[in-house]
Structure formats: C-alpha cells, structure tokens
C-alpha cells in the first residue's frame, strides 16, 4: 500500500455490499405481505420477504465476523462504536417494554388512570399463580445469568473449555425457560382476547419470551464461534453483546415477575380504592 493510499484513521471504510439493498427489499416485501395477509390475502409474499430478511442477516453478520477475524478493520475505535451501538439498541428495547408496563399500570391502578378497573385482576379472571411456574422460571433465568457471566469471565481468562460449557449451559437454561413458559400459557385459564388483563399480560410476557428466544439464538451462535476459537481475551465483542443482551432479558423478567405476576396477580387482587 502506497503512502498516498495508506489509511490514516481508525475508522472502518465498509466495502461495497449488497446487504443494505437486500435487507430493505426484504423488509418491504414482509411489510407488504403482512398487510395483504391481514386483508384476506395469502401469506406467500410475507414468507418470501421474511426469508430475504433472514438471508440478509445471515450474510451480513457472516461478513462482519469475517472482518473481525481478518485484516485490521475492527480497530479499538470500531469496537468502541460496536459497543455503543449495542448499548443504544438495549436502551431502545427498554422503551419498548416500558410501553407494555405502562399499559398494564394504566389499566390496573387509579394512580395512573381514573378509568382503572375496580378490581385487578378484573372479575372472572383467575391470574397465574405467582409462586408456581413464574417463580420457577425466575430461578432458571437468574441461574442462566450466572452461567453467562461465568462464561464471560472464562473468556477473559483465556479458558475456552469453560467458556464453551458456560455458553452451552446458558442456552439450555434459556430453552428450559421457554418450555416452562409455553406450558404456563397452555394452562392459563384466560385467552388473549378476554379483556385488558389478558391482553397486557400476554403482550408483556409473550414478547419477553420472544426476546429470550432471540437471546438463546444469539448465545448459540456465540457457542459455535467459541468452539471454533473465534474469541480472544482482547477481541470478543460478539460475546460481550450477547451477554449484555441476556442480562437485559434477566432484568426485564424481574420487573415482569414483581409487577405483572406478583403485584398484578396477588397484591392487586383486592378491590382498588377509587
């Protein structure tokens, strides 16, 4: 490389890539297909768009991993930008769940709304038993938070065997959590459309379950990469991002357990003062 063309800055100049175009096209197809399906059409267009989006994600992230392992693209400044990007993404997810919590509080307590229910849960709704499956899932998820933390510390210490085992245990615990939650939903005595309590309950806990699924897939990819030796104590941004995301899922669940399951189902079961 000549002096004239040598890079004199720490930033990564991205090579020409088809993924922004294919991602945009796939998202457009998925949105259009979803609208058509909700108006009586077939889900084919939506399915095609979703496949294009998933293919884009796989290809784009494959290129990012390749960049991180070859050349000098991922400098310290670039890694700092990736960390901040993950932090901002998690903050946006916090706002996402804040909307669901607000909907729950708005319907449940006169402190938030003068049109709140007179009793919470409303009459005729038998809430999920707090200290049954929800408490079991709390223990499972907190344990998974400990195992992913142990895996991260093993990475810093250069103990790849412990890293691989810790990630595997975390993924397994995440799958168990999802299985328990599916069983909980199957045993629930109320349906999604049976009032404000079921709607807010399933939206909050169901979307958290989806985030657990995403986090488990994220950690599974990290497990494969760890087994291949992709991570080093000096460079493991992907693993760090996955661990942060999993801890975010843990914290959101603690709020769900406290306010939706415990307060919403037990402490809020008495008549609400108007």
Are 63 and 95 members of one domain? no
pLDDT, tens only, 67-95: 887 767 778 888 898 899 999 999 999 99
Percent of the chain with pLDDT over 70: 90
User: What CATH number is given to the structural domain containing 245?
Assistant: 1.20.120.80
Per-residue buried b or exposed e for 50-71, using 16+ beta carbons within 10 Å of the residue's own CB: bebbeebeeebeeebeebbeee
Please give the distance of CA 271 from its chain centroid, rounded to a whole number.
35
d(CA 204, CA 57): 26
Mean pLDDT, residues 130-156 taken together: 95
pLDDT of 66 higher than 60? yes
Residues linked to residue 271 through DSSP beta bridges, in sequence order? 119
- Three-class secondary structure assignment of 63-126: HHHHHHHCCCCCCHHHHHHHHHHHHHHHHHHHHHHHHHHHHHHHHHCCCCCCCCCCECCCCCCC
Picking from 59, 74, 89, the residue at the C-terminal end of a domain is 74
Look up residue 132 and give its two tokens.
């049954």
pTM for this one?
0.86
Q: Is the pLDDT higher at 245 or at 274? A: 245
Residue 112: is its pLDDT beyond 60? yes
On whether residue 274 sits in a domain, the answer given is no
Helices (runs of H) and strands (runs of E) counted in the chain: 8, 0
Q: What was the pLDDT predicted at 274?
A: 42
pLDDT of 271 above 60? no
- Residue 7's pLDDT is 63
94, two tokens: 């916090």
Domain of residue 40, residue span = 1-74
């Amino acid at each position: 490389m000549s002096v004239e063309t040598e890079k004199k800055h720490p930033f990564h100049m991205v090579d020409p890539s088809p993924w922004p175009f294919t991602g945009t096209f796939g998202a457009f197809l998925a949105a259009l297909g979803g609208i058509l399906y909700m108006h009586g059409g077939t889900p084919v267009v939506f399915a095609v768009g979703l496949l294009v989006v998933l293919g884009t994600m796989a290809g784009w992230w494959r290129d990012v991993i390749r960049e991180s392992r070859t050349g000098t693209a991922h400098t310290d400044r670039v890694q700092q930008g990736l960390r901040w990007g993950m932090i901002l993404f998690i903050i946006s997810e916090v706002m996402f769940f804040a909307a669901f919590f607000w909907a729950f509080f708005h319907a449940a307590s006169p402190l938030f709304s003068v049109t709140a229910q007179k009793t919470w849960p409303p009459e005729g709704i038998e809430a999920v038993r707090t200290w049954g499956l929800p408490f079991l899932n709390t223990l499972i998820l907190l344990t998974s938070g400990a195992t992913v933390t142990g895996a991260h510390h093993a990475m810093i210490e250069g103990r790849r065997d412990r890293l691989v085992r810790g990630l595997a245990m975390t993924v397994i615990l995440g799958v168990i959590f999802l299985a328990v939650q599916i069983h909980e939903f199957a045993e629930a005595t109320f349906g999604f459309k049976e009032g404000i309590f079921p709607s807010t309950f399933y939206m909050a806990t169901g979307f958290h379950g989806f985030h657990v699924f995403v986090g488990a897939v994220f950690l599974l990819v990290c497990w494969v990469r760890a087994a291949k030796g992709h991570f080093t104590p000096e460079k493991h941004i992907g693993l760090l991002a996955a661990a942060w995301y999993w801890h975010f899922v843990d914290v959101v669940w603690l709020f769900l357990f406290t306010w939706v399951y415990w307060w919403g189902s037990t402490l809020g079961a008495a008549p609400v003062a108007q």
